[in-house]
């Protein structure tokens, strides 16, 4: 009796638990549960704790309301230029109406996949291979528009469509790589040719500028060299003219006589004998008379005056730089005075008679260079009168 009661109690507890399990339904967040009663749609359970009639109401589907991502395998698509390419796509969609997504279509994921394939073939079929490879945004926009319109009645909203990859056949890939390589080689050759052209142009312009500058430099150099030669010639001519005037003035100031000319002749004789052809020189005994005649002829030919009267002196200007007044150095002035005094004393000691006459004339510091030097020595009282 007691065992029967225990079994009955356990059966009651089990029935209560089953009834609670059938009555209470917990729906997760972002989910929706479709409830049917006797096979007919009864309602949609929201997220949270829900109570249904056990054994009468049944939760048919649990729909995920979050955005879902489905990647479809690559599909072969023929382009307008009859080339087969493989395109794989990714769909981002979201269930907006659980009831419609449950009862309007059996498998909405499979339906979206097939719709994507057909729409993709329709869009790509109107493009060639180059447009297909470069028009992904256009293909994505076309797919999204068609899918969103077709899936709206299924309670699905397509948020985004992306093309993962477009793979042409291997032969087309090889041809494209060769084309790209050829195009790059062409651009490289063009750039190289343009670089060489620019380099040649710049080199030619540089050579032109260099030639112009060299020509201008040579022109200026020649002009400066010509000016320098002209000035040098002018200065050389002026120097020679001044030298001739100085020598001529010295000759006039010195009043040379025949003795000086004979002495100069004797000095030139060793130079005349320096020639390699002159082996023997014979000096005649009448060398004195010959020298007298030579002196007389030189006087007559060169225009040396026979009288000792001085001629008009040519003013050559100052031979030493003239210092302005007030700029003399006191020490230099004292030194010059001492030198002049020493010269005067030396003249007095060498020629007392001349110093006395100079003192009587009032010129105690006469320069001995102003007096013509007696180059012929003391006069020989036994010499002829014409010597």
Boundaries of every domain in the chain: 13-64, 67-168, 173-247, 255-270+288-302
Quick one: 299 exposed, middle or buried, by C-beta within 10 A (0-12, 13-18, 19+)?
A: middle
The confidence score (pLDDT) of residue 215 equals 93
CA 234 to chain centre: 49
Three-class DSSP category at 48 = strand
What is the enclosing helix (H) or strand (E) of 128?
A: none
**Residue 373 and residue 274: Cα distance in Å, rounded?**
30
Q: Which residues contact 339 (CB under 8 A, 6 or more apart)?
A: none
Strand partners, 163: 89
What is the full DSSP assignment across 217-269? HHHHHHHHHHHHHHHHHHHHHHHHHHHHHHHHHHHHHH---HHHHHHHHHHHH
317: left (phi over 0), alpha (psi -120 to 50) or beta: left
**Residue 373 and residue 387: Cα distance in Å, rounded?**
17
Block mean pLDDT (10 aa), the chain, length 387: 78 83 86 89 89 86 90 88 88 91 88 89 88 86 87 89 86 84 92 93 93 92 91 90 84 70 68 63 54 52 47 47 47 64 66 53 44 40 38
The confidence score (pLDDT) of residue 281 equals 57
**111: which 2 tokens?**
């339906």
What is the enclosing helix (H) or strand (E) of 63?
A: strand 57-64
CB 292 within 8 A of CB 258: yes
Q: Which residues contact 166 (CB under 8 A, 6 or more apart)?
A: 85, 86, 87, 132, 133, 136
CB 373 within 8 A of CB 257: no
Closest by Cα among 9, 7, 63, 72 to 35: 63
User: Measuring CA to CA, how many Å separate 315 from each of 114, 242, 255, 312, 365?
Assistant: 130, 11, 18, 9, 22
Which CATH homologous superfamily contains domain 67-168? Answer: Band 7 domain (3.30.479.30)
155: left (phi over 0), alpha (psi -120 to 50) or beta: left
Dihedral angle, C-alpha 148, 149, 154, 158, nearest 10 °: 0
Phi/psi of residue 69, nearest 5 degrees: -120, 125
Residue indicated by tokens 């089953």: 18
Closest by Cα among 295, 225, 223 to 259: 295
Three-class DSSP category at 72 = coil
CB 61 within 8 A of CB 32: no
Query: What pTM did the predictor assign?
Result: 0.45
Strand partners, 49: 26
**What is the length of the chain?**
387
């Amino acid at each position: 009796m007691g065992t029967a009661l225990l079994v009955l109690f356990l059966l009651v507890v089990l029935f209560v638990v089953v009834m609670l399990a059938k009555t209470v339904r917990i729906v997760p967040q972002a989910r929706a549960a479709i409830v049917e009663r006797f096979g007919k749609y009864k309602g949609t359970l929201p997220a949270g704790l829900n109570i249904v009639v056990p054994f009468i109401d049944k939760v048919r589907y649990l729909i995920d309301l979050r955005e879902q991502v489905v990647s479809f395998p690559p599909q072969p698509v023929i382009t307008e230029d009859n080339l087969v390419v493989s395109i794989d796509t990714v769909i981002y969609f979201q269930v907006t109406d659980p009831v419609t997504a449950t009862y309007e279509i059996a498998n909405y994921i499979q339906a979206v996949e097939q719709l994507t394939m057909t729409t993709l073939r329709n869009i790509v079929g109107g493009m060639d291979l180059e447009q297909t490879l470069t028009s992904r945004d256009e293909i994505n926009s076309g797919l999204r528009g068609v899918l969103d319109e077709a899936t709206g009645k299924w309670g699905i909203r397509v948020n985004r469509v992306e093309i993962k990859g477009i793979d042409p056949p291997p032969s087309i890939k090889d041809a494209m790589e060769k084309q790209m390589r050829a195009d790059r080689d062409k651009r490289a050759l063009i750039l190289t040719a343009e670089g060489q052209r620019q380099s040649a142009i710049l080199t030619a312009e540089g050579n032109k500028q260099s030639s112009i500058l060299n020509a201008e430099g040579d022109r200026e150099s020649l002009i400066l060299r010509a000016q320098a030669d002209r000035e040098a010639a002018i200065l050389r001519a002026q120097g020679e003219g001044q030298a001739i005037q100085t020598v001529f003035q010295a000759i006039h100031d010195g009043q040379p006589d025949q003795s000086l000319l004979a002495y100069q002749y004797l000095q030139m004789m060793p130079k005349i004998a320096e020639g390699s052809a002159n082996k023997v020189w014979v000096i005649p005994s009448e060398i004195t008379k010959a020298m007298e005649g030579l002196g007389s002829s030189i006087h007559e030919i060169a225009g040396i005056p026979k009288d000792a009267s001085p001629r008009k002196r040519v003013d050559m200007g100052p031979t030493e730089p003239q210092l302005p007044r007030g700029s003399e150095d006191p020490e230099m002035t004292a030194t010059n005075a001492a030198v002049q005094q020493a010269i005067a004393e030396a003249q007095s000691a060498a020629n007392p008679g001349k110093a006395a006459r100079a003192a009587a004339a009032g010129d105690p510091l006469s320069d001995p260079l102003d007096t013509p030097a007696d180059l012929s020595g003391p006069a020989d009282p036994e010499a002829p009168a014409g010597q």
